[in-house]
Amino acid sequence: MIPFFKEVFLWLTDPTFTVSLWGAVLACVSLSWIGVIYSLRRSALIGEVIAHSAFPGLILGAFIGIIFDVSSERMNLLLIIGAIATAYLSMKKLTFLQTQWKKSPDAALMISISSFLGMGVLLASILQSVDPVLYKNVMIFLYGRTATMLAFHVKLYAIVMILLSFFLITFHRRIKMFEFDKTFAGFFGIGKGLERAIVCVTLVVIIISLRSCGILLLAGMMTTPAIAARWWVKKISSIFFLSTFFGAFSALLGSFLSIYIGGDLFVLPTGPMITTVSAACTLFSLLFGKRGGLIVRMYRRILFSLKCQEENLLKSLYKKGGAMKIFEVKEVLNSGALILLLVIFRARDHIKISTEYTVVLKEAGVIYAERVVRLHRLWEVYLCEVGFMKHRVHAFADEIEHVLTEEMENILVKRLKNPTHCPHQQKIPKKLEEKDVPV
């Protein structure tokens, strides 16, 4: 373990890696912010569209560069401008197909992706025959080279990230309003302007990240942190914070792993590694997330069903006078794993299992069972009061007795003026502390 940490420390301080590391972190954070906005809109695939439709733009930029015979510095600028232009066109077409022609978002996305990819392929084949060297340069632009990042790029990313955070902080109220209720936002004059601003910001962030991260990282980072964050928190600002954390974490771990795994033999591509780490985070969140993660949900369901079973058992024990034979218990619980259930319930200290295969109610169990029975009968009284038939209320009360809380119980008692008998003329057990307090 210690050599591993030593390696991490060396890597964090190594000047050759710090540049690409910070570049990756900054780019990932900005991308995940953009991703949050689009995942709220349920168009998480927009990153994919932009990444693909930048392809013909890059090559068009290269053609313009060839025609006007510009220097290599200006050529890079031209490539970026071209990429932004076609990406903008494709996003425009996307919204046009969706709003004007009522095509499904799925079909519109696919058309944008495939048509611009096709045009890119066509233009690339021309460029390949005209100028093979430039073609190779453009391809580097497309797949990304994290290793070639310079201090200049890191500064650029930092500036973009700061501007983006300013944008988000200044307009967070409007963005929220616009994303959740377009009609309502329309009344305040929020609409086209904000939409345009978001599109511009997105394009700038994405195309600038494209140079050093590549298409893969882009599409991945725009979706995964946002999805992961939504499984933990509900508020939109918290989603932004958490996705920042996920983005930065996966950038750090991913760029470290990409160097660490290969050792001296080879360097794994950084972009895919970061995406994989981020996807692993997302998978973890989907399973264990506080808000409806799969395992968490299953755990809660099991707990609830255990609670219901236990309450049913206690109730029938109480009605039978405190002791039941095992075969009687079997009828109440109706479960395959009867022994397991009994062992679990015994651990809760409400029952004990005596000799002669008898289940006996304990002191604490009596109090608990009285509460359940009380809730059951109170609910029956309430339903009769509301107008239900007397013979039908029992089944409803059987279900609701497991979910009634103390607060609801108090309200019911107040509303029904503390009844003493249920509709079937059975006594309602009194609450412990209220036993001698007059109403």
Write out the binding residues for other proteins, residues 257-276 only, by CB under 8 A: 261-262, 265-269, 271-273, 275-276
Which of 73, 106, 356, 436 lies at the binding interface for other proteins (CB under 8 A)?
106
CA angle 385, 387, 389 (to 5 degrees): 105
Site string for other proteins, 178-217 (x = CB under 8 A): --------------------------------------x-
What is the smallest separation between the CB atom of 27 and other proteins, expressed in angstroms?
Answer: 16
The one segment of 18-26, 64-72, 97-105, 204-212 that binds other proteins by CB under 8 A: 97-105
Identity of the residue, 97 or 384, whose beta carbon is nearer to other proteins in the bound complex: 97
Give the three-state DSSP class for 438: coil
| Per-position x/- string for 212-231, each x denoting binding to other proteins as judged by CB under 8 A, each - no binding | ----x--xx-xxx--x----
Q: CB under 8 A: which stretch of 101-109, 311-319, 353-361, 417-425 binds other proteins?
A: 101-109
**Is residue 19 at the binding interface for other proteins, with CB under 8 A as the rule?**
no
Three-state secondary-structure class, residue 439: coil
Intra-chain end-to-end CA distance of the chain, in Å: 68
Name which of 107 and 343 has its Cβ closer to other proteins. Answer: 107
Q: Where are the beta strands (DSSP E) in 340-411?
A: 351-354, 358-361
Amino acid occupying residue 136: K
| Residue 71 lies near other proteins (rule: CB under 8 A) | no
Whole-angstrom Cα distance, residue 278 to residue 244? 12
Q: How far apart, in whole angstroms, are the C-alpha atoms of residue 226 and residue 354? A: 55
| Closest C-alpha to 269, from 207, 213, 208, 209 | 213
Our finding on whether 143 is near other proteins (CB under 8 A) is: yes
Measured distance CA(167)–CA(129) in Å, rounded: 43
Query: Which residue, among 247, 244, 243, has the nearest Cα to 230 in the 3D structure?
Result: 243
Count CA atoms closer than 13 A to 359's CA, side-chain side. 28
- Cα(378)–Cα(422) distance, rounded to whole angstroms? 7
- The amino acid that residue 345 corresponds to is F
How many other CB atoms are there within 10 angstroms of residue 381's CB atom?
A: 21
DSSP state of 353: E
Size of the site for other proteins (CB under 8 A): 58
Q: Taking CB under 8 A as the rule, does residue 66 contact other proteins?
A: no
The Cβ-side half-sphere exposure at 35, using a 13 Å CA radius, reads: 30
Candidates 4, 42, 152, 327; binder of other proteins (CB under 8 A) is: 42
Closest CB 117 distance from other proteins, rounded Å: 5
Place of tokens 């109610």: 361
Tell me which residues in 278-297 interact with other proteins (CB under 8 A).
Answer: 279, 282, 286, 292, 294
The nearer residue to other proteins, 226 or 373, going by C-beta atoms, is: 226
Among 268, 231, 261, smallest CA distance to 246 is for 231
Contacts to other proteins from residues 336-355, by CB under 8 A: none
**Taking CB under 8 A as the rule, does residue 146 contact other proteins?**
no
Of 291 and 307, CB closest to other proteins: 291
Q: Say if residues 174 and 187 touch (Cβ distance below 8 Å).
A: no
Minimum distance from CB of 320 to other proteins (Å)? 41
| Residue list 109-128, contact with other proteins (CB under 8 A) | 109-111, 113-115, 117-126
Nearest C-alpha neighbor of 377 from the set 351, 350, 405, 409: 409
413 binds other proteins (CB under 8 A): no
Output the smallest distance, CB 130 to other proteins, in A.
8
Binding-site ranges for other proteins (CB under 8 A): 39, 42-45, 47-48, 97, 100-101, 103-107, 109-111, 113-115, 117-126, 129-130, 143, 216, 219-220, 222-224, 227, 261-262, 265-269, 271-273, 275-276, 279, 282, 286, 292, 294
